[in-house]
Structure 1
């Protein structure tokens, strides 16, 4: 695996500080120090805090598009994939999960972040709706996925056993 670039390390550090400390913990000096780069090195890649937010939103969009593409190609089907990854992305600390957690931390302070999240949420809705005939059932699938994700993100162990019952859940949804 390739060593992360300075730009990637800076974004990783920005995410980690957001997750651990929230927006109040983010200073350009703190991000640079955490990433192991000089402040000048940070400013070369991201000229301001706003540029860091933009970089995070670009990362979110890129990871989200890759996630949707993976869902489309999933051998078990989109619904099973969606429900399974609602838990496994959290428990395996996948990149999209970390970026999502960082994004959640800044949504209230950055209205443009909400816009990016809404675009992705609409794309998820559209994808699930393509694979579930009934609109209400499609909404229920999304809500179940959101609930599983939230449980796993909060560290609750009771979501993981549901992975063994995905076929049963899918059968109930089909009814």
Structure 2
């Protein structure tokens, strides 16, 4: 029988609580008091870890950027080696084969926190910008021609944005057609 997992540390409880608040009520609903109450810690306990609302949002973004980088690297590692490995990983992610695919809880949480940070102070998004810049650089160095690589990047980003903002929804047939087109583009690339 497995031993129960240890309870999360205070910092993790605070970050989890802040993410839940942002998802439910947006950045305006996030205060140090509400995060402390939701995490079950005193305001002083929260201030020990995060001296301001900006530091709390920054902590959420740092954690989410590390999660996204780790998840993406894992997705790439699961793809066959060779040209197009990063592009195949992006397609797998965008079409629901990974835990961070559109519609998944981790990605929805990431989207909510990024939107909150952008609303509060766009500079707070720098950790996420660094991860996405690294992913783009990996994609462009993957051996796939730049035009095809950028078409895959832009398409998968578009799927994410459509999901985040509820702009439109593809039918299963439309998703299958889009995926087939991206895969064909990747395979046909010289």
TM-score (ref. length: structure 1): 0.82
- Per-residue CA deviations over 1:34-59 (Å, capped at 9, x if unaligned) read 11222122122212212212211320
Give, in whole Å, the separation in 2 of the partners of 1:130 and 1:157.
Answer: 31
1:129 is matched with which residue? 140
Question: Once the two structures are superposed, what CA deviation does each residue of 1:117-174 show, in whole Å capped at 9, x if it has no partner?
Answer: 3222211111211225221211111111112223343566526663697455312333
Q: Is the 8 A contact 2:79 2:88 kept in 1?
A: no
- The residue correspondences of 1:11-160 to structure 2 (distance < 5 A) are 11-75=15-79, 77-88=85-96, 89-94=101-106, 96-154=107-165, 158=170
Q: CA deviation at 1:28?
A: 0.8
SS at match of 2:120: coil
Unpaired stretches in structure 2, ≥5 consecutive residues: none
Q: Give unpaired runs (5+ residues) of structure 1.
A: none
- SS of structure 2 residue aligned to 1:4: coil
RMSD between aligned alpha carbons? 2.6
**Corresponding pairs, count:** 174
Conservation of the 8 A alpha-carbon contact between 2:64 and 2:110: yes
Q: Distance in 2 between matches of 1:159 and 1:11?
A: 35
TM-score normalised according to structure 2 size: 0.76
Q: CA deviation at 1:99?
A: 2.6
Q: Alpha-carbon deviations, 1:67-108, whole Å to 9, x = none? A: 2321330225322321232353233312x5413421222213
Task: Please tell me whether the aligned partners of residues 18 and 35 of structure 2 are also in contact (alpha carbons under 8 angstroms).
Answer: yes
- From the two aligned structures, give the one with the greater helix fraction: 1
Larger mean Cα displacement after TM superposition, 160-169 or 146-155:
160-169
